[in-house]
């Protein structure tokens, strides 16, 4: 598999405080990769490091296979676009002038991309309206348009829907999906809004306390969080025997719990278990959400503040 970004034991400390600690991540080419973590988990610190806004204290990272210590890393970063913390826009300029200014900064030969980008992010009709009079969602979309100047194939977005109203959230989501599917742009998103991330991501990295807790694909997560019937029983070994005999798919959990993934006649199951001396204490439908999965990984504690 080809990776756009990889890190190896990456760390960032501030006066002995570890904002990132031995952090490892692998972002596949073509993915929408969601970094999921509570506020202060270290998400923004990671993005600032890979964008070259800060230097790591230890460890390494690579972009398109180029190590951060190589002189070629500057060329690799030219393939990136980023909106970190807040959109980099000039509030006293129009959307068009903002994009033209970015073209000048990047040394692009002309402004041929401006109208196309404005249309892409839904700002082609803003005319002479200055960015200071834009809604928060419009500013966010303008920030993404600025990041797309130079035609990057890797887009880094820091909390892109934070503070937006429902319509703004939908607009940003559709834009990200469009960029990924139609332009084959790999997207790395940091967010603490799990429900929204669930509608976008093809891969997840769960981060807490500056550490990567788990990386998982959307398919693997769906399999983990799939719907089932959860039964509390007195004897999991007897339950496994009965379920095997019935040809049902199941998983034995701790605390004498069993998840059954196939449709099952509960009366027949309880009767068969009773014959083996196994009691069924409770049965309930179970559908683990992304939120509950995340909390099962990191717990509910607040931990130290990290950016």
Three-state DSSP state, 186 = strand
Query: Is the distance from CB of 206 to CB of 36 less than 8 angstroms?
Result: yes
What is d(CA 44, CA 14) in angstroms, rounded to the nearest whole number?
A: 14
Mean pLDDT of 1-17: 93
pLDDT in tens, 177-217: 999 999 999 999 998 888 888 899 999 999 999 999 999 99
Question: Domain limits of the chain?
Answer: 3-217, 226-287
pLDDT tops 80 at residue 104: yes
Mean pLDDT of 139-149: 95
Confidence of residue 86 (pLDDT cuts 50, 70, 90): confident
CB atoms within 10 A of CB 108: 16
pLDDT in tens, 62-71: 999 999 999 9
pLDDT tops 50 at residue 302: no
What is d(CA 61, CA 76) in angstroms, rounded to the nearest whole number?
A: 12
Beta-bridged to residue 61, according to DSSP, are 7
The percent of residues in the chain predicted with pLDDT above 90, rounded, is 73
3-217 and 226-287 have identical folds: no
Which pLDDT belongs to residue 301?
44
CATH of 226-287, one of 3.30.70.100, 3.40.50.10380, 3.40.50.970, 3.20.20.140: 3.30.70.100
Q: Which residues contact 220 (CB under 8 A, 6 or more apart)?
A: none
Query: Average per-residue pLDDT in the chain?
Result: 90
Which pLDDT belongs to residue 185?
97
Fold exhibited by the domain 3-217: Rossmann fold (3.40.50)
pLDDT tops 70 at residue 288: no
Confidence of residue 299 (pLDDT cuts 50, 70, 90): low
Confidence of residue 303 (pLDDT cuts 50, 70, 90): very low
Q: What is the DSSP letter of 307?
A: -
């Amino acid at each position: 598999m080809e990776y756009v970004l990889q890190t190896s034991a990456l760390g960032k400390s501030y006066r002995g405080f570890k904002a990132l600690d031995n952090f490892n991540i692998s972002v596949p080419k073509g993915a929408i990769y969601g970094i999921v973590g509570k506020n202060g988990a270290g998400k923004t610190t990671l993005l600032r490091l890979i964008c070259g806004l800060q230097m790591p204290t230890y460890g390494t990272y690579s972009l398109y296979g180029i190590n951060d210590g190589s002189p070629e890393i500057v060329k690799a970063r030219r393939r990136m676009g980023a909106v970190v913390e807040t959109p980099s826009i000039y509030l006293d300029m129009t959307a068009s002038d903002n994009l033209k200014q970015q073209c000048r900064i990047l040394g692009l030969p002309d402004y041929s991309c401006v109208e196309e980008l404005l249309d892409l992010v839904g700002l082609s009709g803003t005319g002479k309206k200055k960015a200071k009079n834009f809604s928060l969602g419009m500013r966010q979309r303008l920030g993404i348009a600025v990041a797309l100047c130079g035609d990057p194939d890797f887009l880094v977005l820091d909390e892109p829907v934070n503070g937006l109203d429902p319509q703004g959230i939908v607009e940003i989501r559709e834009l990200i999906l469009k960029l990924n599917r139609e332009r084959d742009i790999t997207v790395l998103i940091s967010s603490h809004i799990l429900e929204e991330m669930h509608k976008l991501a093809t891969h997840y990295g769960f981060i807490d306390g500056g550490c990567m807790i788990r990386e998982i694909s959307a398919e693997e997560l769906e399999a983990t969080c799939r719907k089932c019937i959860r039964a509390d029983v007195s004897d999991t070994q007897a339950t496994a025997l009965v379920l095997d005999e019935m040809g049902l798919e199941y998983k034995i959990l701790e605390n004498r719990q069993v998840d059954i993934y196939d449709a099952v006649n509960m009366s027949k199951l309880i009767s068969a278990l009773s014959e083996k001396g196994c009691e069924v204490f409770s049965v309930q439908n179970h559908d683990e959400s992304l939120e509950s999965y995340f909390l099962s990984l990191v717990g509910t504690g607040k931990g130290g503040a990290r950016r």
